[in-house]
Amino acid sequence: MDIVQERRLLTEIPGPRSRELQRRKLASVSAGVGVGLPAYITRAGGGVLVDVDGNQLIDFGSGIAVTTVGNAAPRVVERVQRQAAELTHTCFMVTPYEGYLEVCEALAELTPGDHAKRSALFNSGAEAVENAVKIARAATGRQAVVAFEHGYHGRTNLTMALTAKSMPYKAGFGPFSPEIYRAPMAYPLRWPGGAQACAEEAFEAFAGTVRTQVGADRVAAVVVEPIQGEGGFIVPPAGWLRRVADFCREHGIVLIADEIQTGFCRTGDWFACDHDGVVPDLITTAKGMAGGLPLAAVTGRAEIMDAVHAGGLGGTYGGNPVACAAALGAIETMRTENLCARAREIETLFRHRLEKLRHRYGAIAEIRGRGAMLAMELTAGAGDLTPNPGATAAINASCHRQGLVTLTAGTFGNVFRFLPPLTAPDHLLQEGLDLIEQAFQEHLG
C-alpha cells in the first residue's frame, strides 16, 4: 500500500479538476445515474481515496460495503494481474476453468451450516437475488415470495418488486413482478408496541401476513437481510430471525438470507446469520466477496440448488475468471488478516465515540448495527421520533466538504451510516470520527 494513510486537502472538495469532470458527466452520463460526492477518484488504498486534484479523502463507505479488504488490496491485485494476463474469459457454460470451482468450494466452506452445498455465480447482487428466487420456485413448485418492509434487494424488475422503498428505486418503473408480498419488519426503534415487544409481535405480524394474505403452502421463499442495509442498518431483536427460519422450515418455505451487504466479515462474523445461529437454505453474496470486482453468488442446500434443470441458470459473464481470482485474493486476505476480528475491533472504536455523541445530541435516537456496519438514526429531537432527513443530509455534506466519504440510508433518509474498509488504520478512523463530531457541532450546535 503506497498511499500514505492520511487525509490531505489541497483544494476545496470537489476541486477544480473534479468539477470539470462533473461537467463532462452531465453531458455524457444519464441523469438517472446519481453521484453522491462528485470528487473523481484516481487511486485508492487502505482507507484513503485520492482524487484528481490530489486530495486524499478518508473512506467511510467502501464503495457501499465492497472494499472490505481495502481498495486495490495487494492479494487481490496480484491475483487479478496474473489472471488477466493468462485468461480473461471463456464463459463457464461453454468451457469451464478452475477458479469458478475454487470460489464455490470456498463459499461451501464459509457459509453457515455443514450440509452439502452448491453455488452458482453471477455478476451483481440483484442478479444473485433474482436467481435465488428462480431456484426456490423451481425447487418448491410454488410462486409467492415474501419480503420485508424497509428491505433492499436490487434494481432489476424482480428485485425492485422485492425492494420496499419507492423513491428513488421504483418510482415510475412499474409494473412490477407479481406474487411478491411484504411483511412488517422487526424495527425495534419504530415498533408501535415498543422495542421490548418487537421480537414477539413482529414475528406474529410476519406469520399472520403469510397465513392470511398469501397462504403458507403457496410461499416459495422468504427473502430477508439479517441486518437491513439500504433500509437503515435495522437490526432485528435477538431471536426474531430464528423464529422466521423455524416458521419457514415448518411450512416448506425456502429461507433466502440476502447477505450481499452484511457478508464476508463486515459484521464481525463471516456472515450475519452466524451471529443469530441461523442456517438459511439459500444465501446470496456479492460486494465484499471480490474486493471490488463484480461477482455475486447464490449458495445453498444441494437438493434445492440441484432442483433446477441443466441450463436453467447462467449468463455470459457469471463467475468471470478475473472476478473469481479477485474473490480468492479477497478471501485469503480476510483469513490471513483475521478481518472478522478487525470488524469487531472497529465496532468498539466507533461505538465509544458515537455513544458520546448520542449523549450530547438528542437528535440521535439510536446507534445501531454490528461490526464495521454501524449507523445513527437522526430524529427531530429527544423523545420525538419524527425523521430528520434535513440534518442527516447537511451533516453528510459537511463531512464530504472536509474530505470524509460518508453515506446515508434509510426509508426516511435519516440514517447516517458507516462502512469503513476493515484495513483502515485506527488513526484514520479516529480522524474521520473527529470530522463527524465537527459536522454535528456545525449543524446541531
* C-alpha to C-alpha distance for 51 and 14, rounded to whole angstroms: 9
Residue 283: which residues within 8 A CB-CB, separation 6 or more? Answer: 111, 112, 256, 257, 259, 263, 271, 273, 298, 299, 300
Q: Is 106 in the site for ligand PLZ (CB under 6 A)?
A: no
Q: Which one, 133 or 286, has the nearer CB to ligand PLZ?
A: 286
Q: Is 129 in the site for ligand PLZ (CB under 6 A)?
A: yes
In the structure grid, which three cell numbers stand for residue 283, read together?
444465501
* Window contacting ligand PLZ (CB under 6 A); options: 136-144, 152-160, 350-358, 374-382: 152-160
Q: Nearest approach, Cβ of 427 to ligand PLZ (angstroms)?
A: 28
Q: Nearest approach, Cβ of 292 to ligand PLZ (angstroms)?
A: 12
* SS3 at position 212: helix
Of positions 260, 330, 339, 428, contacts ligand PLZ by CB under 6 A: 260
Q: How many positions of this chain bind ligand PLZ (CB under 6 A)?
A: 16
In this structure, the number of other CB atoms found within 10 A of the CB of residue 302 comes to 12
* Window contacting ligand PLZ (CB under 6 A); options: 46-54, 151-159, 197-205, 373-381: 151-159
Of positions 100, 122, 148, 152, contacts ligand PLZ by CB under 6 A: 152
Please state the length of the chain. Answer: 445
Report the side by side order of strands in the sheet with 219-224: 117-122, 296-301, 282-285, 254-258, 219-224, 144-148, 180-183
* C-alpha to C-alpha distance for 129 and 237, rounded to whole angstroms: 24
* SS3 at position 369: strand
Q: Is 225 in the site for ligand PLZ (CB under 6 A)?
A: yes
Q: Nearest approach, Cβ of 390 to ligand PLZ (angstroms)?
A: 21
* Window contacting ligand PLZ (CB under 6 A); options: 153-161, 297-305, 396-404, 422-430: 153-161
Q: Is 133 in the site for ligand PLZ (CB under 6 A)?
A: no
* SS3 at position 147: strand
Of positions 230, 269, 276, 347, contacts ligand PLZ by CB under 6 A: 230
Q: Contact letters (x/-) for ligand PLZ, 24-63, by CB under 6 A?
A: ----------------------------------------
Q: Which one, 128 or 422, has the nearer CB to ligand PLZ?
A: 128
Of positions 21, 64, 367, 380, contacts ligand PLZ by CB under 6 A: 64
**Angle formed at CA 305 by CA 304 and CA 310, multiple of 5 degrees:** 120
Residue 177 CA from chain centroid, whole number: 23
Dihedral (Cα; 425, 439, 413, 387), 10-degree rounding: 130
Residues 154-183 that bind ligand PLZ (CB under 6 A): 154-155
**Contacts with ligand PLZ, residue ranges (CB under 6 A):** 64, 124-126, 129, 152-155, 225, 229-230, 258, 260-261, 286
